Amino acid sequence: MDFAPLRAAAEATLPADAWSFYQGTADGRFDAERDARAWDRWDLVPRVMTGLTAIDTTVELGGHRFASPIMLAASASQGGAHPDGELATAAAAGAAGMLMSYSNNATVDVERFGAAATSPWWAQIYLQHDRSATTDYVARCAAAGASALVLTVDVPGILADAAFRRVPLTGAVAVRGNVPLTGAGAGFAADTSITPDDLAELVASAGLPVWAKGVLTPDDALRALDAGAAGVIVSNHGRRQLAGVVPVAAVLREIVEAVDRRAPVIVDGGIRSGADVVRALALGAAAVGIGRPVLWALAAGGREALETMLATLAEETAVTIAGLGAASVADITPRMVRPAWGEDR
């Protein structure tokens, strides 16, 4: 879909620092859309005469069935986009029947969020230097109803995160719910030195499935699975961690091949259309995450605008699946995607 009007409305609504926080990338160029352009380098190849009469867009993830393969990726401080913050996002995700990942650095605390959520949700976490703080927070997430944890493993980049370093946060976008980013006791306490052993420890102690988010190589995907991860999320964190990082569209296929059906692979970064969703599915993703589009919609019109945006993207996805000649998400095959013409030689 054309996100330009929604993005423009968000930019017009938000204070400059909040807009910079949401759009930020590690290289300071604010070119989060480079990942979106990379999806264009895959062309879809339809099958015809398949006798289609109906399309099933549902997917099963972690034992729950969702209406769409689109999930809402974790993004911090949604209260800076709309006063209802993560509560509006939870309501819209529930209405759309989509999975939402709730950020460790949310504006609304996890107990309030969990009480408001109407569909299954996952809690994204960062390992804290103080592991007892992590254990306490994981217990709070479980008690609040999280059905899985998403451990963000691309943390060295936090040292360079445009959002945390270059852009001074105002009260509007500062975290209030879980981890203070400004004021007394401020400081982003994520441990940047994590290893697969830390992941294995979390898997052993959490009592919930743990997904590893931020993987960009086949080798790291396998290390995460060997450590007990329930699945991996291929992500470059919306280009916020490493300047010049590879677009996810370039690495998804090789990671899926290495994982070889041992576990599901989710991808996020630059997904902006039904065609992008389907490209990712054809390359082997079990589902896709969307980050900034959620924030644009929240800023432009809260829950209502977000519901409209999610419905539009879901509809586009269904139309694209039908156009491919597939009856369901499981019916989408690797042969339905190939390098864009002119780029395969």
Active site residues: 237
- CB atoms < 10 A from the CB of 48, how many? 8
32 binds ligand FNR (CB under 6 A): yes
Cβ proximity to ligand FNR: between 74 and 232 the closer is 74
Strands 287-290, 265-268: parallel, antiparallel or unpaired by DSSP?
Answer: parallel
216 binds ligand FNR (CB under 6 A): no
Q: How many residues bind ligand FNR (CB under 6 A)?
A: 27
235 binds ligand FNR (CB under 6 A): yes
User: Quick one: which of 196, 209, 247, 269 contacts ligand FNR (CB under 6 A)?
Assistant: 269
Residue 239: which of 124, 156, 161 has the closest Cα?
A: 161
| Cβ neighbourhood burial of 217 (10 Å; 0-12, 13-18, 19+) | middle
DSSP state string for 169-232: --TTTS--SSS--SSTT----B-S---HHHHHHHHHHHSS-EEEEEE-SHHHHHHHHHTT-SEE
Positions in 303-342 near ligand FNR (CB under 6 A)? none
Q: How far apart are CA 230 and CA 203, in angstroms?
A: 9
241 binds ligand FNR (CB under 6 A): no
270 binds ligand FNR (CB under 6 A): yes
User: Quick one: which of 20, 75, 128, 273 contacts ligand FNR (CB under 6 A)?
Assistant: 75
User: Quick one: which of 216, 249, 259, 290 contacts ligand FNR (CB under 6 A)?
Assistant: 290
220 binds ligand FNR (CB under 6 A): no
User: Quick one: which of 10, 14, 19, 22 contacts ligand FNR (CB under 6 A)?
Assistant: 22
CB 208 within 8 A of CB 147: yes
Which segments within the chain are labelled E, that is strand?
42-44, 59-61, 64-66, 70-72, 100-102, 121-125, 148-152, 210-215, 231-234, 265-268, 287-290, 337-339
- With contacts defined by CB under 6 A, name the span among 196-204, 233-241, 257-265, 331-339 that binds ligand FNR: 233-241
105 binds ligand FNR (CB under 6 A): yes
Query: Hey, what are 89's tokens?
Result: 């996002």
267 binds ligand FNR (CB under 6 A): no
- Mapped onto helix, strand or coil, the DSSP state of residue 70 is strand
Quote the least distance from Cβ 268 to ligand FNR, whole Å: 4
Q: How far apart are CA 6 and CA 37, in angstroms?
A: 18
Residue 65: which of 267, 328, 305, 323 has the closest Cα?
A: 328
Question: Residue number with the shortest CB distance to ligand FNR?
Answer: 291
- Pattern 144-183, ligand FNR, x by CB under 6 A: --------x-------------------------------
Residues in the site for ligand FNR, rule: CB under 6 A?
A: 21-22, 32, 35, 73-76, 103-105, 124, 152, 213, 235, 237-238, 240, 268-271, 289-292, 295
